[in-house]
C-alpha cells in the first residue's frame, strides 16, 4: 500500500489528460497537425522581442499586462477593465471553469448532498475543442456535451429547447466559433440568439476567428454574461509565446483576475503581442494568403475524392477516399506529412489538415495523388 499513487487525489489519478498534437523531434516533417501559422511573425515583432532580450530578463514582467491591455482596448473599442490577458487562451478557459463552476462532484463527495446540477455544469457542443471536457474533469465539475447537427451546424435555440438536452442554466457554456475541428463558421446573429437564451456564463472561443467571415466580439460588450476568448497563437504566429485574452464585462474580468497567477503572462510574450498590434497590416495580408491556400487545397482534395467541409479557419476537415482516415494518417506520415486524426466517433472518418504555405499544399496534393495511384496499381 505504499505506492506513490496513494498520494495522488483519485480525481487526478483517473484523469484523461488533454492530448496535444505531436511536436515532432525529427526534422524534415511538414507539420500540418496543430493549426500553427505557416508564416513567421512580422519583422517588427521579431525585432521588438530581440530588443527586449537583455539584462531586464532578471525583472518580473508587468503583472497586469497593462500596456497590452490598453492597446487591445483601443483595438476593440472598450476599456482595459474589459480585458484579461492569459498565458495562452487555454489558461483563461481553465480560469473560467474555476471562477464560475462549482466543483460539484467534489462537493457531493464531501458534504453528501447534491449541489445544484446546473451550477456544477460545464456545457459544450460536440465535436468542439477537446480541452473543455478535460477542464471540467480537472475541476470535478459535471459535463453536458450536446451534439452539433450532422453537418456540424449549431442546433438553433428552438431545437435546443425542444430536445431538452441543453441546459440553459449551465454555469458555463463553451462555444468554439468558428468551430474546431469541423472548421464551420457560425453567424453572429445565431450566436446572439444563443447568448440571449443562456442564463449562465457563455464563452465564445474565437481562436480561429481571423480566418472567418464574421466575429461576435461585440456580444461580449453587449451582454454581461458573455466572454469572448481570442489568441495570438493562430492568426498572429505566436504559439511559442503563449498569449491569449478575454473580452467581457469588468465584473467577470475582475473575478478572473483575482484567481490568476500574479505574473501569468511572460514579459517577452507581452512585448511580442503588443508589437503585433502595431503591425496588423502585415497579419491581414497573411490571413488573405492562408484563406486563398485553404480554398485551393479544398478544391484540389475534393477533386481527388475527399469530402472537404467548408472551413472558416486555418484548417480543413476532410473525409478521405479509399482507406480509413486513420490509415491515411499513417500513409501521410510515411511521406513526411503530419496531420491530425481524432478518435471521437463524429469525426473519426476525417482528417484535420492545417493550412500551410502554397508550396506545402501543393506537395500534399502531389503526395495524396501518389498514394491514390499506388492503391490502384
Ligand X SMILES: Cc1ncc(COP(=O)(O)O)c(C=O)c1O
Q: Which residues of this protein are in contact with ligand X, per CB under 6 A?
A: 35, 88-90, 129, 176, 180, 205, 207, 231, 233, 239, 244
At 72, give phi and psi (nearest 5°).
-65, -40
Question: Which C-beta is closer to ligand X: that of 229 or that of 253?
Answer: 229
Torsion on CA atoms 110, 94, 91, 185, rounded to nearest 10: 170
Instruction: Please report the DSSP string for 258-285 in residue order.
Output: HHS-TT-S-HHHHHHHHHHHTTHHHHHH
Nearest distance, CB of residue 205 and ligand X, angstroms: 5
Instruction: Give the contacts of 331 (CB within 8 A, at least 6 positions apart).
Output: 323, 371
Please tell me the distance from the alpha carbon of residue 241 to that of residue 234, in angstroms, as a whole number. Answer: 11
Question: Which C-beta is closer to ligand X: that of 82 or that of 231?
Answer: 231
Question: Which C-beta is closer to ligand X: that of 203 or that of 371?
Answer: 203
Question: Which C-beta is closer to ligand X: that of 104 or that of 244?
Answer: 244
Nearest distance, CB of residue 88 and ligand X, angstroms: 3
Q: What angle do CA 249, 250, 254 make, to 5 degrees?
A: 125
Nearest distance, CB of residue 13 and ligand X, angstroms: 26
Minimal CB distance residue for ligand X: 88
Question: Which C-beta is closer to ligand X: that of 82 or that of 241?
Answer: 241
Nearest distance, CB of residue 157 and ligand X, angstroms: 22
Contact between 292 and 193 under an 8 Å Cβ cutoff? The reply is no
Contact between 20 and 34 under an 8 Å Cβ cutoff? The reply is yes
Please tell me the distance from the alpha carbon of residue 141 to that of residue 159, in angstroms, as a whole number. Answer: 26
Contact between 339 and 350 under an 8 Å Cβ cutoff? The reply is no
Question: Which C-beta is closer to ligand X: that of 125 or that of 306?
Answer: 125
Nearest distance, CB of residue 34 and ligand X, angstroms: 7
Nearest distance, CB of residue 8 and ligand X, angstroms: 26
Amino acid at each position: 500500500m505504499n505506492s506513490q499513487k496513494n498520494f495522488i487525489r483519485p480525481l487526478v489519478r483517473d484523469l484523461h489528460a488533454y492530448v496535444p498534437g505531436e511536436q515532432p523531434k525529427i526534422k524534415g516533417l511538414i507539420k500540418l497537425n496543430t493549426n500553427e501559422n505557416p508564416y513567421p511573425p512580422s519583422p517588427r515583432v521579431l525585432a521588438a522581442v530581440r530588443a527586449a532580450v537583455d539584462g531586464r530578463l532578471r525583472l518580473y514582467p508587468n503583472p497586469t499586462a497593462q500596456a497590452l491591455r490598453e492597446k487591445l482596448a483601443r483595438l476593440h473599442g472598450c476599456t482595459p477593465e474589459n480585458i484579461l490577458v492569459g498565458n495562452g487562451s487555454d489558461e483563461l478557459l481553465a480560469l473560467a471553469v474555476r471562477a464560475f463552476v462549482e466543483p460539484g462532484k467534489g462537493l457531493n463527495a464531501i458534504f453528501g448532498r447534491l449541489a445544484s446540477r446546473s451550477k456544477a455544469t460545464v456545457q459544450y457542443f460536440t465535436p468542439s475543442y477537446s480541452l473543455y471536457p478535460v477542464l471540467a474533469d480537472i475541476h470535478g465539475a459535471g459535463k453536458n456535451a450536446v451534439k452539433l447537427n450532422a453537418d456540424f451546424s449549431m442546433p438553433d435555440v428552438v431545437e435546443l429547447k425542444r430536445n431538452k438536452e441543453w441546459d440553459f442554466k449551465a454555469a458555463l457554456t463553451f462555444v468554439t466559433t468558428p468551430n474546431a475541428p469541423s472548421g464551420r463558421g457560425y453567424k453572429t446573429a445565431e450566436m446572439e440568439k444563443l447568448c440571449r437564451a443562456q442564463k449562465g456564463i457563455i464563452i465564445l472561443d474565437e481562436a480561429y476567428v481571423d480566418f472567418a467571415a464574421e466575429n461576435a466580439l461585440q456580444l461580449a460588450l453587449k451582454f454581461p454574461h458573455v466572454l469572448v476568448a481570442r489568441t495570438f497563437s493562430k492568426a498572429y504566429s505566436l504559439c511559442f509565446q503563449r498569449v491569449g485574452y478575454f473580452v467581457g464585462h469588468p465584473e467577470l474580468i475582475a473575478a478572473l483576475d483575482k484567481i490568476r497567477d500574479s505574473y501569468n503572462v511572460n514579459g517577452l510574450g507581452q512585448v511580442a503581442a503588443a508589437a503585433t498590434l502595431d503591425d496588423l497590416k502585415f497579419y491581414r495580408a497573411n490571413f488573405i494568403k492562408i484563406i486563398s491556400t485553404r480554398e485551393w487545397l479544398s478544391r484540389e482534395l475534393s477533386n481527388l475524392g475527399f469530402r472537404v467541409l467548408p472551413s472558416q479557419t486555418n484548417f480543413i476537415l476532410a473525409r478521405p477516399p479509399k482507406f480509413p482516415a486513420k490509415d491515411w494518417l499513417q500513409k501521410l506520415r510515411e511521406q513526411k506529412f503530419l496531420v491530425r486524426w481524432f478518435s471521437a466517433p463524429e469525426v473519426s472518418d476525417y482528417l484535420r489538415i492545417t493550412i500551410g504555405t502554397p508550396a506545402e499544399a501543393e506537395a500534399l496534393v502531389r503526395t495524396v495523388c501518389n498514394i491514390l495511384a499506388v492503391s490502384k496499381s
